[in-house]
Amino acid sequence: MMGLNPRELRRALKRMGIEAEELNAVKVSIETSDGKTLEVESPQVMIIRAKGQSTMIYVVGEPRERQGGGESDDKR
C-alpha cells in the first residue's frame, strides 16, 4: 500500500478547513492493552486538528512488535 504524500494531504485538509502539521519524529511506540509494544522507526507523523474535534495523529511506517515494555533487544 502506498502512503500519502504529507504535502498533498496538508493541502487537501487546508481546503476543508483542517490544520495539519508534520512532526519530525525519530520513533513512535504504542503500548497495547495485552502488553505488546509496537515501534515504528523513522515514521512520517502528521498532527491533524479540526475545530471542535479531537487531535488525530497520522503515522506512516513499518511497525515492529516488541515484547515486555518496549525495551530494545539490541544491547551492544
Distance separating alpha carbons of residues 17 and 29, to the nearest angstrom: 29
pLDDT (tens digit, 9 = 90+) per residue, 43-74?
988 888 888 677 878 788 899 998 665 454 44
> SS3 for 36?
strand
C-alpha cell at 70: 518496549
DSSP element (H, E) containing 11: helix 6-15
pTM, whole model, 2 decimals? 0.59
For residue 48, the Cα-to-chain-centroid distance in whole angstroms is 11
pLDDT at 68: 60
Please state the domain extents for the chain.
Answer: 22-66
